[in-house]
Amino acid sequence: MSKAFIVTSLVALSLILSCWLPYLNPGKWWLSGFAGLFFPIVLVINLVYLIYWLIQKKPYWGLSLGAVLLSCRALLLTFGHHPAGNAANSQSGDFTIMSFNSSSMGLKNYTEDPALQASIYNTLQSAAPDILCIQEFYTNSAPDHTDHLGAIQEKLHYPYRYFTRDKTKWNTWQYGIVLFSKYPILSACNIPCGHSEVGSGSSILQADIKIKEHTIRVFTAQLQSYMLRHKDYAALQGEATQAIGLAARMKNTFGKRAAQAEQLAALIKESPYPAIVCGDFNDTPVSYTYNKISPDMQDAFLQQGWGIGRTLSFLAPTLRIDYILTQSPFHVNGFSSFPHKGFEHFPIMASLSL
């Protein structure tokens, strides 16, 4: 058995495992949590092998091709294939909805960044979504800080809002998830789903909204984050012991996020109204999290988007972890993302109709 055959087989097997292991609950099978993260990498390596063996006219190309064919579903979930897809705007549907992890509205080390805040407000005002869902939201009622809750409602003319207030610090510093709406919010609540140091990630926001003659239910959440810090990013390129410690933390996160995904999936199933789910899942499309939440739902990016759809501005160019998912009664008329400099997460917006 030649070395070329063994290496090509291992690369092909790695691609297959990265596609199919994520169907297993990482709370029980922790390797499945890591598998999907490597899908884009092993896909590229496998394609290189496929092209190389075709050029060399060696039969090993069949191994690579077989692995690619077995990864078709993962490919369709990862890449948008609508280069001429419509942008999201109020003219292309009944209403627009935006999801945005604001990373505490630009707050860093308890210090507000005026330039970043201005960029966030300019983006929100330019997009002007009818429904705005913000995770990792921060607001402060102290006179020397920014009351983002009131400012956004006033500047973007939202009559209705609901804020989870998952965490309060020093009486006036408040964190959580917020939903602003130009349509009446009939009822809203926050459903506990765990604990997060940043507040957002501790609950799922559920809101019933009246749009013309229809009532819809919106869920927005930030699922369990790895809570990586700068020293953790350094560990990815550092000593083996540091990397092992980081992997152990990630392993613990997999189980918590899987439980939240199952909880959210159950809430969607129980909804008496057509449901929209949006937020920061902290996981890629090739993951147990996405697989659990997305059955029988449309991914707005896949319906109208093109390319990889990156929503996280650092770590890797392949990370799409923010989503807008809709049940079948909705039609996705347009999709847009807003990859502005300085944003950790890029806002995404969809135009929808019933």
Give DSSP secondary structure letters for 238-265: S-HHHHHHHHHHHHHHHHHHHHHHHHHH
pLDDT tens for the 354 residues of the chain, in order: 688 899 999 999 999 999 999 999 998 888 889 999 999 999 999 999 999 999 998 898 999 999 999 999 999 999 999 998 899 987 767 899 999 999 999 898 899 999 999 999 999 999 999 999 999 999 999 999 999 999 999 999 999 999 999 999 999 999 999 999 999 999 999 999 988 776 667 999 999 999 999 999 999 999 998 766 555 545 555 555 556 666 777 778 899 999 999 999 999 999 999 999 999 999 999 999 999 999 999 999 999 999 999 999 988 888 999 999 999 999 999 999 999 989 999 999 999 998
Phi-psi region of 337 (alpha: psi -120 to 50; beta: other; left: phi over 0): beta
Task: Give dist(CA 229, CA 234) in Å, integer.
Answer: 9
Looking at 35-114, which runs of residues are DSSP E strands?
80-81, 95-101
DSSP state of 93: S
Please name every residue paired with 208 in a beta bridge, in sequence order, or none if there are none: 187, 217
Please name every residue paired with 168 in a beta bridge, in sequence order, or none if there are none: 174
Task: Give dist(CA 50, CA 66) in Å, integer.
Answer: 10
Q: What is the CA radius of gyration of the chain?
A: 21
Largest CA distance in the chain: 74
Strands 275-280 and 214-222: parallel
Amino acid at 95: F
Q: Is the pTM of this model over 0.85?
A: yes
Determine contact, residues 347/323, Cβ cutoff 8 Å.
no
CB count within 10 Å of CB 121 equals 18
Task: Give dist(CA 81, CA 180) in Å, integer.
Answer: 31
Please name every residue paired with 352 in a beta bridge, in sequence order, or none if there are none: 95, 332
Selection from 18, 24, 60 nearest residue 40 by Cα: 18
